[in-house]
Amino acid sequence: MHDDRSLVEDRLRRVLDDRVRPAVYPESVPLDVAVWHAPGEPVPVAEGLAAEPEPITVGTRWGAPWGTSWFTVTGTVPEQWAGRTVEALFDLGFDGNMPGFQCEGLVYRPDGTPVKGVNPLNQWVRIGAPAAGGEQVRLHIEAASNPVVFGPRPFQPTPLGDKETAGAEPQYTLNRMDLAVFDETVWNLVTDLEVLGELMAELPVDSARRWDILRAVERALDALDLQDVGGTAAEARSRLTGVLSSPAAPSAHRISAVGHAHIDSAWLWPLRETVRKVARTAANMTALLEDEPEFVFAMSQAQQWAWVRDHRPEVWARVKKAVADGRFVPAGGMWVESDTNMPGSEAMARQFVHGKRFFLDEFGIENDEAWLPDTFGFAAGLPQIIRAAGSKYLLTQKISWSQTNRFPHHTFQWEGIDGTRIFTHFPPVDTYNCAMTGAEIAHAARNFKDKGAARHSLAPTGFGDGGGGTSREMIARAARLRDLEGSATVTWETPKAFFDKAAAEYPDAPVWVGELYLELHRATLTSQAKTKQGNRRSEHLLREAELWAATAAVRTGFRYPYEDLDRIWKTVLLHQFHDILPGSSIAWVHREARATYERITAELDGIVDAAQRALAGDGGTPLLFNAAPHALAGVPAGGAGETADAGTPTGLTARDGGGHVLDNGLLRVEIDARGLVVSAYDIDADRETIAPGEAANLLQLHTDLPNKWDAWDVDKFYRNTVTDLTDADEVTAGEDGASVRIVRSFGASRVTQVLSLAAGERRLLVDTEVDWHETEKFLKLAFPLDLHAERYASETQFGHVFRPTHTNTSWEAAKFEACNHRFVHLAEPGWGVAVVNDSTYGHDVTRTVRTDGDRGTTTTVRVSLLRAPRFPDPETDQGVHRFRHALVPGASIGDAVREGWRVNLPERRLTGAAGTAPLVTVDRDAVVVTAVKLADDGSGDVVVRLHEAHGGRVRATLTADFETTGVTATDLLERPLPDSPSLDGNRVALRLRPFELVTLRFGRHA
């Protein structure tokens, strides 16, 4: 037989595009349209419905950037359409290639009842099936004219990312507002031909199945009268019955489809718009659930559920019913789909506390899975947190975006830093916006790396990023793929059903140990510095507020601010969303984030001050309140008291050759005439910290224009060019006699640094203020160390992770920018160095061997300070920034932990009557208390969270300094665990494995 595949396939494409798809709506009549443009921010539904609209015609431009327009459409169903299916078609100016990234609408009836959302790939609203001839139609559309920030040429700077700079030019053209007859037979024929055509293209050319489909499609096209598609569609469909009913092979890959709409809580739109995106999507999905009995839809992010509840009660009522029916499924058990690299230990825990508790309180549903399809890599402390929250599974898709290495598994056990393992799945469909196309399904089956041991995978199905969700077309495709020869099988299932099935099937899944590093989007560790600083400082302020409020509540009867802390935590958690904290959202989002963090700071400072004043009482004794988990200046952790003598005062002298020398008997630091640290000598250890011929406190400036994803990415070639900022405008001794001030100018920017060495301390503080006015530049701060280390420790949640300093493999070379929390630590046996920070995350560590002199190793730690990408925020990080870092020579890992906490917590001093004993004390520095608070249920019980922080086994005793009725070990949600420690008086004996996390609840009399 002659090979006529191309002829038939081209015919199929032409007939589908030019004849069959247009015949889905064979008849239409225009609707009358009027519009009212809301003058400012979105208005309540009642106000929008009551407004007086003005007539508008199709073809008219409408919608200023970020505006809201209320369209009113009216019309009459023609008498001759009686008994036929009629739909309203609304095209607000959509681009079908960009669902979720442009204008959208939510349709209402005149009484305010939501009908469904409309978006580029979901433009219909059912009027009647069958319709009544002469029926009057009146609908309202709340339409958002969100501008297209991610335009035809992506990553171009645009003012559209902030309402304050976006202007008022109309963004869209009204394209269609019609009533139309919907021909369901033709619509089904479209789906039949699409599914078979897509499947055919994925099958081997020498496959008999491919040719069977080709001939069936040819027969169907022959049966179709192109002048009467509607009249012949049924016959054409009948000729496809055989190939559509042939069952899949028993060995076929099995896909669990989960209805899904990934909705970024903020990204190329502000938070307030996400509130509406979620409502539109939820309205669509609840409507679809009513029509499709097998369909299951899952929605993550408790914050988004709360938005529907609080802002769209009419949609919420439908959602609650669908949840009760088991069809609309809460997923993930987190407050938002957060970044997991940068949130601190407690914050990461609270993501699960607040997320899981919301679903439990609202629906009585416990989530088993963490659902993070789009998060930019996963910190190695996360498995223990997931398990401590009572969950056991993880789903993500993002690792498939890695540029260098292909991850070797799709289903595996992920082992964290403490040994906890979590059953994890990466959908091999390689998208969290699966549309159920033949190419996607075939790719999932081919791509699945665990063949022979497992055969199940998950496909999150529905338009996402900006929402939209699953469409009826996707459901129709899935129905045909349920059991179809040549294809993987597709079944609608909940995430829990998939995971339970997959885990049972694959009990000996392979193990991946350590972080799940995304080899992409590394610059998200640095972009939008003020957002990152706001997060870090809010986390530590929340620690202080809980600690001092709990202490004051137990000691003085102070009113513990349960509601305020709950609200503030949720706000901080929201801003850890994976496009807010990483700095990859539009200018509007980060402008609002800065203002939010300022409000949070003021409110938390108020709580801390009120609690501390209640504890201090009236008096003139100077008191230090120590919120750190280690003793400070003689004041115990979590307590308040008078400070001990600091030790030998620091001396400041002139340096031979220019510059200054700081010496406190522990460290001798030489700062040359350029303001660079050329020596940091550990006197006790008789050891130099700075590599020979090198200088620390070196600011380095790189050109930084990644190939794409400007705010997200830094490409390795940025290192090819560097400018060392060694010229100083001034290097002067500080008036306090213990510091040196350095001023530098470069480009349009200016840096002022103060290097200080306090009495009795083995740490050099580096305070940096940058008035930053560069574009497409990357600013680093370098510390070249005379130290030979093949690996270094980087703090993560509830511990630290080790990374190599070498690049033996492509996996190691790909980690050229990585995340740390408060410290980076490097060591040779018996001596180490820590670099600690108060608000930065990105860093790199490199090593070279000196070819002359001692032939020793120089290991350089560089912290990332600032970037200046121009998309999606063209003014990223312009302005003044302040950072604090410290170089700690002679540091053990315990010193790194201690100094990391200290640099992040301000010293708070009051005068009062007397000091305050801590509520709890621990007798081992290796055990770090991360939270002291009152129980969330309002019982007055004291909750203490702690972990082993040095990476070794430890025995310790925790002592409670208050009257307690007993102690219980709990999960993160403060629910009792089966095994609890015994209480000996007020003491609890602890035996912790490396990095083990423990939560203890101490009962108190009501």
Q: How far apart are the C-alpha atoms of 763 and 231, rounded to whole Å? A: 84
DSSP 84: S
Q: How far apart are CA 449 and CA 441, in angstroms?
A: 15
pLDDT of residue 586: 98
pLDDT tens, position by position, 709-727 = 999 999 999 999 999 999 9
Query: What pLDDT sits at residue 617?
Result: 96
What is d(CA 204, CA 442) in angstroms, rounded to the nearest whole number? 12
Residues 6+ apart with CB under 8 A from 569: 350, 354, 542
Residue 100 to residues 120, 152, 740, Cα–Cα distance (Å):
8, 15, 53
Helix (H, G, I), strand (E, B) or coil at 570: helix
* Per-residue pLDDT tens digits for 57-88: 999 999 999 999 999 999 999 999 999 999 99
| Mean of pLDDT over the chain | 97
The backbone torsions φ and ψ at residue 50, rounded to the nearest 5 degrees and listed phi first, read -85, -15
Q: Residue 967: is its pLDDT beyond 90?
A: yes
Output 446-454 pairs: Cβ under 8 A, ≥24 positions apart: 447/410, 448/253, 448/410, 449/408, 449/409, 449/410, 450/409, 450/410, 450/411, 450/412, 450/506, 450/509, 451/253, 453/506, 453/508, 453/509, 454/411, 454/502, 454/505, 454/506, 454/509
Is residue 981 helix, strand or coil?
Answer: coil
pLDDT for 153: 86
Identify the three-state secondary structure at position 286: helix
pLDDT in tens, 552-600: 999 999 999 999 999 999 999 999 999 999 999 999 999 999 999 999 9
Average pLDDT over residues 623-639: 97
Q: How confident is the model at residue 1006 (pLDDT cuts 50, 70, 90)?
A: low
DSSP 900-933: HHHHHS--EEEEESS-B--SEEES-TTEEEEEEE
Q: What's CA 152's distance to the chain center, in Å? A: 26
What is the share, in percent, of the chain residues with pLDDT greater than 70? 100
- The 10s digit of each residue's pLDDT in 865-892 is 999 999 999 999 999 999 999 999 999 9
Are 418 and 835 in contact, with CB atoms under 8 Å apart? no
pLDDT tens across 656-670, in order?
999 999 999 999 999
Question: In this predicted structure, what is the pLDDT of residue 1?
Answer: 62
Give catalytic residue positions.
Answer: 374
| Residues 650, 870: Cα–Cα separation, whole Å | 44
Alpha-carbon Rg for the chain in angstroms: 31
Cα separation, 516 vs 214, in Å, equals: 43
Q: 3-state DSSP helix/strand/coil percent for the chain, to nearest 5?
A: 30, 30, 40
Q: Is the pLDDT of residue 2 over 80?
A: no
Q: HEC profile for 631-646? A: CECCECCCCEECCCCC
Residue 832 has what pLDDT? 98
Q: Which pLDDT score, from 0 to 100, does residue 3 have?
A: 84
Number of residues assigned to the chain: 1006
698: number of Cβ within 10 Å: 20
* 929, 726 Cβ separation under 8 angstroms: no
H or E stretch covering 211: helix 208-223
* Cα(217)–Cα(239) distance, integer angstroms: 8
Q: Give 34's contacts (C-beta < 8 A, 6+ positions apart).
A: 53, 54, 55, 56, 71, 72
Residue appearing with tokens 């990105």: 842
CA distances from 191 to 6, 247, 289, 492 (A): 21, 18, 19, 18
Share of residues in the chain with pLDDT > 90 (%): 96
Alpha helix (H) residue ranges in 427-486: 438-447, 472-480
Instruction: Determine the pLDDT at residue 852.
Output: 85
Nearest of 140, 248, 807 to residue 484 by alpha carbon: 248
Burial 990-999 (b: 16+ CB within 10 A, else e): bebebbbbbb
Q: Dump pLDDT digits (tens) for 980-1002.
A: 898 999 999 999 999 999 999 99
Across 48-55, average pLDDT: 97
Please give the structure tokens belonging to residue 575. 């801003």
The helix (H) or strand (E) run that includes residue 458 is strand 456-461
The pTM of this model reads 0.97
- With b meaning 16 or more CB within 10 Å and e meaning fewer, what string describes 738-754? bbbbbebeeeebbbbbb
Helix ranges restricted to H, 575-703: 587-616
- pLDDT confidence of residue 823: 98
Tell me the mean pLDDT in the region 678-705.
98
Selection from 973, 908, 1004, 921 nearest residue 553 by Cα: 1004
d(CA 570, CA 886): 31
Separation of alpha carbons 407 and 417, rounded Å:
19
Q: Strand pairing of 823-828 and 677-682?
A: unpaired
Task: Taking each helix axis as running N to C, give the angle between helix 529-556 and helix 587-616, from 0 to 180 degrees, rounded to the nearest 10.
Answer: 20
